[in-house]
Structure 1
Amino acid sequence: MKKTLCLAFTSISLISFSSHASTFTDPIDGMFDMGEYLAENAYGFLPVPIIITEPAVGFGAGMFGIFLHESEEEKQTRKTQALNTLDGGAQLIPPAVTVFGGAATENGTWFAAFGHRRTWKQDSIRYMGGVGYGNAFVDVGGLFERTIETDTKGLGGIQHLQFRMDDSDLFLGFSQSYIRSEIRSSNNFVDAIFKRRFGESSTTSGLGITLEYDTTNSFFFPTEGMSIETEYKWYRDAFGSDFEYDTFAFSVTKYQPLSSRFTLVGYATLDSLEQKEESNAPNFPGLSLPPLAKPYIDMRGIAAYAYSGDTVSTLQAQLMWHIDPRWSLLGFGGVGSVADQASNLYSENEWAYGVGFRYQIARRYGIHMGMDFAFSDDENAFYFNLGSGF
């Protein structure tokens, strides 16, 4: 399946290239570039192949299409900028973006998703939303003091709406999430517990408040500035949720130029979950919530949901070497920890590290694509990535 999808992507690319060869050559440096094709072709999109090596679900493949939406005035402004500077239009307000596609893996996991992001009033209002449907076979750690195979099928969606506070770099907003899922297990004993605890299906639904500080110089591939994001979300019966709990998510990303060729990136996260007493399930220790509800260590090289709990934190760093305006090499590493409360974090740690590269495939928009090769004590994996990796 992976080879078939990759071959299909290659064929589509070659057909597009032969039909629009002139639009795939940058007028400034003569390099392969899809910026003009995306801007000038009414049906143009950036095909992003997905080769999945995520240890949690096994090998797989898929494809997403990224569509950019601009007015004629915005197109002309960005085109003029791209013809006069090597940065292109990377530091202009990003266009509206629509993403659609799907993927599948060898263990039976599959998903399809649609997402959209746009801004209004000179980036004073930001919206991001998405919906997806899929079936995930994931081994989740920490259930019944062991790792349990779970089979989760469902439909879910998220939304974020943010408003710039005066003329500052601070955004106040609201978030909403909804997931309707069916949870099973190949272990008959565990499956019986799942059915008794969650029934044939269950719903998690929450509303939250967000606060973001953003001074980054590009949406698609920042090289300078800082982003601080905070979200507190309430899951309640009043919002349609079968489970009542609160989540807190905090992240900070700092892009620090060391010179014209090197950028150092620091990234830290803290995620926590607090259950309400009425939602606890004393007869099902470790299973008062759906298995995929808890935060987990999310790092390149570590299987998703392999380490999950009530409190999770990661600390990561990445050094990017910008060889020229097109090519960048990068090295990254980090540590993650799971604990029952914040004071116990980093008493036990999980490490991961790796290398990667990026190619600026659409200079007009500052879009970079590439691959990362990541390693940890338990897993090795590689990823196709759009952007810096954070």
Structure 2
Amino acid sequence: MNRFCKYLLAALPVLIVCQVNATSFTDPIDGKFDMGDYLAENAYGFLPVPILLTEPALGVGGGVAGVFLHESEAEKQHRKQLAMESLDGGASLITPAITIVGGGGTENGTWFGFGAHRHSFLQDRIRYIGLLAYGNAELEIYNDLGGLLPPNRALSFDTTTQGLLEMQKLQFRVADTKLFLGIKQQYSQSTVSSSNPVIDKLLSTLIGSESAMSGLGINAEYDTRNNIFFPNKGFIVEAEYMAFRDSFGSDYNYDTATLSGEVYVPLNKKWTWAFAGDYQYFNSDTTGLPPTLKPYVNLRGVAAYRYQGDNVIAAQTQLMYHIDNRWTVSGFYGVGRTSEDAFASQDKSTDTIDAYGVGFRYSIARRYGLQMGVDIAFSGDDSAIYFQTGIGF
């Protein structure tokens, strides 16, 4: 769930209103600008959302998405009543069903389109997430020739990856606990090429003109956060194992496993400390795998696919200062490491990168706990600006 939010809710809402007759943009409690009433009163309407991208691996770009929040009349009234009674009222209720459709592109030729849906059933006893996306990614891939070259001297070559991704996840709550167990299905079909004729010929020989990856897996999630969008208390731990096999329709046989978590600790009314970490594992006996298949260090300020390996570990910490109930500023620092051996010593087979930055959030829809803001991050020679909505990290 957390990764779903990160990639599909990372956008800055545009203040465009198509139906404003009964909509107020002033919060009745604190008198500040707020879009909660608009989102509630137009739960089945279209909320235009511009997507602004500054990912170092893709370049500057943007697009637009449409966000739909689905609530019954009873759910809307209950959330509104709690929001009138408390500044954080309503934010900890069951997250409404969310549908997002959109697309965009960047200056280097990357483009994409997607649709996603999150829904809970039976008072949040069952959760479903579905995603369908299609796009073209222009990425720089780095290779150290199996450890023969030092990380900062790795060879780089451009790739063009065009493909389709489809994913579904179904989770079930265990009794009355915070634990969810579930199954996941994923399928992707892609083509990979390079403008370098030698690299392109090599890619065509090793992986062919088109490839498909199809897998099934299991997952577990334990979540005590007080809000999925921008929590200030609680934690979440997620574990997942996926098997990709030719019997499922995959051209490659491999396994992936991930373990991730986030924790939010309120130090006092003004300060919150947060920590996030993840471990990604990849295993395959197949040669000639697509270059974007292996996991990579995923930190703000670090170019996607710049640091890849069979084992990837990343950790980041963040300190947040809540100026008031609307504004929050933060500073963060993270470090990631890749290796071909989970227990490798610090040698040529490992690669380490750190990143840091600052950011801010504004509570744009108080009753939902929905925040928007900007993060500015740096790492090595890279820097990026991230326009964020609905995520803590």
**TM-score past 0.5 threshold:** yes
Listed as ranges, the matches of 1:61-210 within 5 Å are: 61-142=62-143, 144=145, 146-210=155-219
Q: Secondary structure at the match of 2:368?
A: coil
| 8 Å Cα contact 2:43/2:70 also seen in 1 | no
Deviations 1:216-270 (A, max 9, x none): 1111111111100000000000111000000011101111111111111111110
Rounded to whole Å, the distance in 2 between the matches of 1:48 and 1:122 is 29
Rounded to whole Å, the distance in 2 between the matches of 1:293 and 1:21 is 49
| 8 Å Cα contact 1:142/1:309 also seen in 2 | no
Rounded to whole Å, the distance in 2 between the matches of 1:122 and 1:22 is 28
**Equivalent position amino acid for 1:377 in 2:** G
Paired residue for 1:272? 281
Q: Secondary structure at the match of 1:251?
A: strand
1:99 Cα deviation after fit: 1.0
Paired residue for 2:237? 228
Paired residue for 2:250? 241
Does residue 13 of the first structure (1) align with residue 22 of the second (2)?
no
1:39 Cα deviation after fit: 0.8
| 8 Å Cα contact 2:44/2:69 also seen in 1 | no
1:353 Cα deviation after fit: 0.2
| 8 Å Cα contact 2:23/2:41 also seen in 1 | no
Q: Secondary structure at the match of 2:50?
A: strand
Q: Secondary structure at the match of 1:13?
A: coil
Q: Secondary structure at the match of 2:373?
A: strand
| 8 Å Cα contact 1:294/1:308 also seen in 2 | yes
**Equivalent position amino acid for 2:330 in 1:** L
Deviations 1:55-88 (A, max 9, x none): 1011111122221000111011011111111013
**Equivalent position amino acid for 2:89 in 1:** G
| 8 Å Cα contact 1:34/1:46 also seen in 2 | no
Paired residue for 2:31? 30
Q: 1:360 aligns with which of 359, 363, 367?
A: 363
Q: Percent identity?
A: 51
Q: Secondary structure at the match of 2:15?
A: helix
Q: Secondary structure at the match of 1:260?
A: coil
| 8 Å Cα contact 1:142/1:307 also seen in 2 | no
1:195 Cα deviation after fit: 1.5
1:388 Cα deviation after fit: 3.5
| 8 Å Cα contact 2:44/2:70 also seen in 1 | no
1:26 Cα deviation after fit: 1.1
Rounded to whole Å, the distance in 2 between the matches of 1:141 and 1:348 is 12
Rounded to whole Å, the distance in 2 between the matches of 1:143 and 1:163 is 43
**Equivalent position amino acid for 1:386 in 2:** T
1:43 Cα deviation after fit: 4.4
Rounded to whole Å, the distance in 1 between the matches of 2:345 and 2:280 is 11
RMSD in angstroms over aligned alpha carbons? 1.8
Q: Secondary structure at the match of 1:24?
A: coil
Structure 2 unmatched runs, 5+: 1-11, 146-153
Paired residue for 1:291? 291
**Which moves more between the two structures, 191-200 or 110-119?**
191-200
**Equivalent position amino acid for 1:196 in 2:** T
Rounded to whole Å, the distance in 1 between the matches of 2:142 and 2:105 is 22
**TM-score where L is the length of structure 1:** 0.91
Structure of greater relative contact order (alpha carbons < 8 Å, 6+ residues apart):
2
Rounded to whole Å, the distance in 1 between the matches of 2:366 and 2:45 is 15
Deviations 1:174-207 (A, max 9, x none): 1111111011101101111111222221101111
Q: Secondary structure at the match of 1:349?
A: strand
1:30 Cα deviation after fit: 1.5
**Equivalent position amino acid for 1:227 in 2:** I
**Which moves more between the two structures, 198-207 or 39-48?**
39-48
Q: Secondary structure at the match of 1:305?
A: coil
Deviations 1:75-106 (A, max 9, x none): 11011111111013110011001111111100
Rounded to whole Å, the distance in 2 between the matches of 1:15 and 1:252 is 37
Shift in alpha-carbon separation, 1:253–1:379, aligned structure 2, 3 A: same
**Which moves more between the two structures, 195-204 or 326-335?**
195-204
| 8 Å Cα contact 1:313/1:345 also seen in 2 | no
Paired residue for 1:3? none
Q: Secondary structure at the match of 1:39?
A: helix
1:142 Cα deviation after fit: 2.2
Rounded to whole Å, the distance in 2 between the matches of 1:245 and 1:46 is 40
Shift in alpha-carbon separation, 1:385–1:14, aligned structure 2, 3 A: closer
Shift in alpha-carbon separation, 1:22–1:167, aligned structure 2, 3 A: closer
Rounded to whole Å, the distance in 2 between the matches of 1:14 and 1:94 is 23
1:28 Cα deviation after fit: 1.2
**Equivalent position amino acid for 2:311 in 1:** T
Deviations 1:5-49 (A, max 9, x none): xxxx99x735659x4585211111111111111111254444332
Shift in alpha-carbon separation, 1:263–1:47, aligned structure 2, 3 A: farther
| 8 Å Cα contact 2:180/2:222 also seen in 1 | yes
Does residue 329 of the first structure (1) align with residue 329 of the second (2)?
yes
1:345 Cα deviation after fit: 6.8
Q: Secondary structure at the match of 1:320?
A: strand
| 8 Å Cα contact 2:43/2:71 also seen in 1 | no
Does residue 373 of the first structure (1) align with residue 376 of the second (2)?
yes
1:344 Cα deviation after fit: 2.1
Does residue 57 of the first structure (1) align with residue 58 of the second (2)?
yes
